[in-house]
Structure 1
């Protein structure tokens, strides 16, 4: 994945400046910065969800996205929350549920799962898509410290097992360290990436 961003604006406000960024399969990158600096905007551009920017994105890699909120289908059970969006078969979905510690929960609906379980289901869905690169938008926010540590360890293990790359946006350098990711900092007005 390669981004050559000339700029991104919302109305008259220039949010992101010139950014050159490349991430390969297996590489782990964390983009740090305070709330409101444009981290999520940058991730949406990388994911191809926001085409209204000046520049060029070459995203030939297979991507999966984990949002700040689990973004699950409330009217579908855990199994369908993996099979429908990814197109994977039932056995693959069951395997991923097992890998994230949700074996036996395949018939539960999101409302029947704790926030930590919902986050694990979102992670299983992302990995079931077979991504070259996982894009993660503060996926550990609002978790209690113990659940957060378990989720970080699980994500690290799954990245290692699958060989997927990672682009994580976060305000917390401890998350980057736990995931063994090199760090860049988004700062300025308009925001640009700088070595941390």
Structure 2
């Protein structure tokens, strides 16, 4: 995947400046920087969720995204949340639920799961899609340290087993090392890598 961003503006104000980035399957990078600098905006552009920018994103890589909030379907059971969103079979969904420690909770609705369990379900759903590159937008924020550490460990294991690449947005400068990701710092006005 190649990102060649020239500019991104909101209401006439330039938020992101020239950014060139290339990420391949198996490669891991983390976007760091202060709150409001444009990390999540850049991730949304990469994901194809924001098309109003000057530049281009190229590549045929299969992407999956994990947001800060789990974004689950509240009216569907846990297993269905994976099958419907990822388009996988029930066996794959059950296997991934087991890998993230949710075996036996297939019939639970999201409201019957703790926040940590919901985030693990969202992680299983992302990997069920078979991504070449996993996009994560502060997925460990607002978790207690023990739960965050467990989630980071689960993510690292799933990345290793799947061979997927990673683009992680985070405020925590310890997370890139824990996920073997190269840190890239956004700074400046408009923001650029290394600015």
Range class of TM-score, shorter chain: over 0.9
Corresponding residue for residue 8 of structure 2? 8
Corresponding residue for residue 143 of structure 1? 143
Corresponding residue for residue 113 of structure 2? 113
Report the 3-state secondary structure (helix = DSSP H, G, I; strand = E; otherwise coil) of the residue aligned with 2:151. Answer: helix
Alignment size in residue pairs: 195
Corresponding residue for residue 35 of structure 1? 35
Superposed CA RMSD in Å reads 0.8
Corresponding residue for residue 128 of structure 1? 128
Establish whether residue 186 from structure 1 lines up as the match of residue 189 from structure 2: no
Report the 3-state secondary structure (helix = DSSP H, G, I; strand = E; otherwise coil) of the residue aligned with 2:194. Answer: strand
CA distance in 1, matches of 2:101, 2:167: 23
CA distance in 1, matches of 2:119, 2:33: 22
CA distance in 1, matches of 2:86, 2:171: 29
How many Å apart are 1:59 and its aligned residue? 3.1
How many Å apart are 1:152 and its aligned residue? 0.4
Question: Matches of residues 47-86 of structure 1 in structure 2 within 5 Å?
Answer: 47-86=47-86
Establish whether residue 24 from structure 1 lines up as the match of residue 24 from structure 2: yes
Name structure 1 gaps, 5 residues minimum.
Answer: none
Q: Residues 54-109 of structure 1: CA distance to partner in whole angstroms, max 9, x if unpaired? A: 00110310000000100000000100100001110111110110010000000000
How many Å apart are 1:134 and its aligned residue? 0.1
**In the alignment, is the contact (CA less than 8 A) between 1:46 and 1:59 conserved in 2?**
no
How many Å apart are 1:177 and its aligned residue? 1.0
Moved over 6 A (4+): none
How many Å apart are 1:10 and its aligned residue? 0.6
Q: TM-score, normalised by structure 1?
A: 0.98
CA distance in 1, matches of 2:31, 2:57: 18
CA distance in 1, matches of 2:132, 2:12: 35
CA distance in 1, matches of 2:95, 2:171: 32
CA distance in 2, matches of 1:156, 1:87: 23
Corresponding residue for residue 159 of structure 1? 159
Corresponding residue for residue 101 of structure 1? 101
Name structure 2 gaps, 5 residues minimum.
Answer: none
CA distance in 2, matches of 1:59, 1:97: 30
Report the 3-state secondary structure (helix = DSSP H, G, I; strand = E; otherwise coil) of the residue aligned with 1:103. Answer: coil
